[in-house]
Amino acid sequence: MKETMTPRERMIKALNHEIPDRIPIDLGGNQTGIHKNAYRSLINHLDLKEDVVIMDAVQQLAVPSEAVLQRLRVDTRYIRAGAPDSWKGGIIRTQRDGQFWEDLTDEFGIRWSMPGDAPYYMDITLHPLAKATLVDVKAHPWPRGDDPSRFAGLRERALLLRKETPYAVVSGISGVVYEICWYMRGLEQWFCDLMDNTEFCEAMLDQTLKFWMDWFRLFLDEVGDLVDVIMIGDDLAGQNGPLFSPDVYRRIVKPRHRRLVQYIRSRTKAKIWYHTCGACTDLIPEIIDNGADILNPVQVSAKNMDPSALKQRFGENLVFWGGGVNAQQVLPRGTPQEVAENVRQNLKAFMPGGGYVFNNVHNIQGEVPAENILALYDTAYENGFYV
């Protein structure tokens, strides 16, 4: 078991469905990250003296330090655009109904809140277009995706990673065309709209698509030649299947997804990573047809998401990024030995022929013991060599 490639070389091989020296390993993204509580447990276990820095306020994800990334043999490093100078948001401590809250109102007017006595995550407490009409959608103060202040210093950061480190350069999550619509509308009302208010849905989707098309025009101007992977995505499925009819997806949502993916492909050689949780097997052909190269997080505990079946059916056309362990039962509640065995089973299914990047299914949640995190990554490393 000897490494013969740099992390970037290893990642490129895997993404091209070729066989690297070992599987690439990932940690640190918005969908491949670690909750602050689990991270605090991990650094204490490793006896690392460092502060916990929050990278994603909504999900309460920590920024993994270089020491942790090296200990876990992580092959990726992330770059992210920022908020525009015009956005004056930030976390505000408020009181409602006798309860203290930490509130964050984003650029779209969506309010995310975390209770002061249970600071685990933020959930939506205000949908700004919950009662909107079509006229209201057009009049809403939509943010500018192409505000250049978002991208200040981005190229310099990407060049630093590209020239002075051996790691694969990966973008933060972007291209959230569909989910922002229900964030603004409310999930139940949005599903009703999909059934009987198509014009309204299309108006919303066109606004979010415009935001991301404008965003990507400047993002790709800055770093389209420097990134190896671009992450986009919307959750389209739940535990037992798609959240709404695949026919509705093909008719209303897919044309916008495909337009965005094809635009990105026209501007960069980076591989396009598409994120959707859940039992998404019925939608994987659509994701491939849109032009995506990678599927994440590969929720192996969901219905019809067996690793061997997924690899056999879609492995020639799609890279699987994630799916390393049963994240709902085994990782948080199993022993380190059970975590290791589950990882070995999934590696056996996903590794053959390349086309696989190792990670947990989505983020490592706050209650996961440090011993299980180490078992997750150490087993992947020790059993992930091809030669």
Which residues, other chains included, contact 149 with Cβ-Cβ below 8 Å and sequence gap of 6+?
Answer: 82, 84, 85, 86
Domains, the chain: 7-84+130-383 (3.20.20.210)
DSSP 101-169: EEEEE-TTS-EEEEETTSTT--EEEE-TTTT--HHHHHHS-PPPTT-GGGGTTHHHHHHHHHHH--SEE
Which residues, other chains included, contact 237 with Cβ-Cβ below 8 Å and sequence gap of 6+?
Answer: 243, 276, 277, 278, 279, 280, 283, 302
pLDDT score of 321: 98
Cβ atoms of 381 and 344 closer than 8 Å: no
Phi, psi of 66, rounded to the nearest 5 degrees? -60, -35
Helix (H) or strand (E) holding 378: helix 370-383
pLDDT score of 387: 80
DSSP reduced 3-state for 302: coil
pTM of the model: 0.96
pLDDT score of 97: 84
Measured distance CA(148)–CA(231) in Å, rounded: 20
pLDDT score of 221: 98
- From first to last of its 387 residues, what are the pLDDT tens digits of the chain? 899 999 999 999 999 999 999 999 999 999 999 999 999 999 999 999 999 999 999 999 999 999 999 999 999 999 999 999 999 888 999 999 889 999 999 999 999 999 999 999 999 999 999 999 999 999 999 999 999 999 999 999 999 999 999 999 999 999 999 999 999 999 999 999 999 999 999 999 999 999 999 999 999 999 999 999 999 999 999 999 999 999 999 999 999 999 999 999 999 999 999 999 999 999 999 999 999 999 999 999 999 999 999 999 999 999 999 999 999 999 999 999 999 999 999 999 999 999 999 999 999 999 999 999 999 999 999 999 998
